[in-house]
Chain A
Amino acid sequence: GQQLNQSPQSMFIQEGEDVSMNCTSSSIFNTWLWYKQEPGEGPVLLIALYKAGELTSNGRLTAQFGITRKDSFLNISASIPSDVGIYFCAGPYGNKLVFGAGTILRVKS
């Protein structure tokens, strides 16, 4: 089936640092979604992207739809302790949504 590769697998950063993570697929997508999951909870949608080259922000979060349509990037500026969690990328595969394995973010205060 379709696979999404996320990197890095995990990050342990200092509070205030910027964070970058990315997601690549083996096929072209027309939608990219980014979710955040906090411990013991379900994922929450952060940003949705629908067009190649699109750059969308949500507060300190910025996501980009890669121009090749096979990748997407998520940046978090000036990280804070409540940014901890698992960040998932997701994209459509037929009429289903497939997810990457996630990037675990830990923040040192």
Chain B
Amino acid sequence: DGGITQSPKYLFRKEGQNVTLSCEQNLNHDAMYWYRQDPGQGLRLIYYSQIVNDFQKGDIAEGYSVSREKKESFPLTVTSAQKNPTAFYLCASSAGPETLKLFFGSGTQLSVL
């Protein structure tokens, strides 16, 4: 089955620690996205990548970093500079930047210990 896989489902971060959230897709999609979801708020874009080896900052990129070394993979690192990391993180992909029909993974809940 084609889809987007996020792991882990739950993640805990200690103060000062960097953590990496995994996102893998086998849909052969060119574009991938990371969103952050806080209760009562819409999805806010962190980073996106339209092609391998290229990515752009979204609306709330500070304290986060990404890489896009392979078409299938778009990992997100939450760095110690992100002072309020507790949130539900969603990865998505689309066939290309001209089509904005996003397909989402099942999310990672990040909490701070």
Contact = CB atoms under 8 A, between A and B. Distances in A.
Given A41-B107, A101-B42, A48 B92 contact: no
A40 B9 CA distance: 9
A22 B50 CA distance: 30
Contacts of B100: 31, 33, 90, 92, 95-97
Q: Which of B45, B100, B101: most chain A Cβ within 10 A? A: B100
B106 interface: yes
Contacts, number: 53
A100 interface: yes
Chain A at the B interface: mostly helix, strand, loop or mixed? strand
Interface in B19-49: 33, 35, 40-43, 45, 48
A59 interface: no
Contacts of A102: 42
Nearest to B104: A42
A48 B59 CA distance: 24
Nearest to A89: B42
Interface in A48-78: 48
A98 B40 CA distance: 15
A18 B12 CA distance: 41
A42 B58 contact: no
Interface residues of A, number: 22
Interface residues of B, number: 25
Contact of B92 (A42, A88, A98, A101): A42
A45 B48 CA distance: 19
A44 interface: yes
Interface string A14-56: 0000000000000000010100000011111100100000000
Contacts of B35: 99
Contact of A40 (B42, B97, B107): B107
A54 to B, nearest CB: 15
Interface of A: 1, 4, 31, 33, 40-45, 48, 88, 90, 92, 95-102
11 contacts: A4-B42, A31-B100, A40-B106, A42-B4, A42-B6, A43-B43, A48-B101, A90-B102, A96-B48, A96-B58, A102-B42
